[in-house]
Amino acid sequence: MNSKNEILQNLNTIGERIRNACEKAGRSPEEVKLLLAVKTVTPEKIITAVEAGFPIIGENKVQEIKAKYEALEETPHETHFIGHLQTNKIKEILRYGVDCIQTVDRLKLAEKLQRRLEFEDKTMDVLIQVNTSGEESKFGVSPAHAIPFLKEVVAFDRIFIRGFMTIGLFSAEWEKVRLCFRLLREIRDEAAGLNLPRTDLKELSMGMSGDLEIAIEEGATMIRVGTAVFGERMYPDSYYWPDKG
């Protein structure tokens, strides 16, 4: 079987998994968007999946966005940034037309983003990344600081906060994984109740190839799936999720 057919078949399987999870949770599958996590994936394969009806792609590294930019230019899609963002990469994020930064997790980043957006007379959609698993190695604001941080970021009028993102605990103990996702939803619900200006906090980006069902049961509006669509990656995830150091 060629890889194009494999990708299409994988997308069908994920569609089924989404529908089953939604049914179990009493939700409509239309409430759950599939973001294609495309780190290391070639433009050709990305185009296959995008043209199959999944127009949101997520990249972890600015240099990959840059490298694939021309090849993807003719294929309408939305690019979300889902990796750790260094402030010196903000200019390029804007230059290459990123539509949403899902990993805003510190004030300095928000400040510099605001300043650059003002300079270029642009706006940006963002999600706030929360470290719900408490793992030392993961980025994201701590759950306790999520709301205070949100209130600070709201002051930046070029930044539109659309919700929250998390990476669940990597564990086969599903109840612990579930608690991560539940925590993110609770933070979102509390935040939505504050009725802050310029925010629309409905997005919950959570769940990946291995735990998307649990995330959907806990309210995910966007799942981020890589290996279950495109197969195993050549690089270990530590390449993309470097230690905070």
Ligand X SMILES: *Cc1c(COP(=O)(O)O)cnc(C)c1O
**Interacting residues with ligand X (CB under 6 A):** 37, 39, 60, 82, 167, 208-210, 224-228, 240
Q: Which is nearer to ligand X, 119 or 239 (CB)?
A: 239
Q: Which is nearer to ligand X, 185 or 224 (CB)?
A: 224
Write the single-letter amino acid at 63. Answer: Q
Query: What CA–CA distance (Å, rounded) separates 226 from 35?
Result: 9
Query: What CA–CA distance (Å, rounded) separates 204 from 171?
Result: 20
Q: Which is nearer to ligand X, 70 or 244 (CB)?
A: 244
Q: C-beta of 241: minimal distance to ligand X in Å? A: 7
Q: Which residue has the CB atom at the shortest distance from ligand X?
A: 226
Q: C-beta of 74: minimal distance to ligand X in Å? A: 25
Q: Which is nearer to ligand X, 41 or 159 (CB)?
A: 41
Closest by CA position to 103, among listed 162, 166, 40, 173: 166
Q: C-beta of 130: minimal distance to ligand X in Å? A: 13
Q: Which two tokens stand for residue 218?
A: 């806990």
Tell me, letter by letter, the H, E, C secondary structure of the chain: CCHHHHHHHHHHHHHHHHHHHHHHHCCCHHHCEEEEECCCCCHHHHHHHHHCCCCEEEECCHHHHHHHHHHHCCCCCEEEECCCCCHHHHHHHHHCCCCEEEEECCHHHHHHHHHHHHHHCCCEEEEEEECCCCCCCCCCECHHHHHHHHHHHCCCCCEEEEEEECCCCCCCCHHHHHHHHHHHHHHHHHHHCCCCCCEEEEEEECCCCCCHHHHHHCCCCEEEECHHHHCCCCCCHHHCCCCCC
Q: C-beta of 126: minimal distance to ligand X in Å? A: 14
Q: C-beta of 17: minimal distance to ligand X in Å? A: 12
Q: Which is nearer to ligand X, 111 or 209 (CB)?
A: 209
Q: C-beta of 197: minimal distance to ligand X in Å? A: 28
Q: Which is nearer to ligand X, 124 or 229 (CB)?
A: 229
Going by DSSP bridges, is the β-strand pair 222-225/100-104 parallel, antiparallel, or unpaired? unpaired
Q: C-beta of 102: minimal distance to ligand X in Å? A: 8
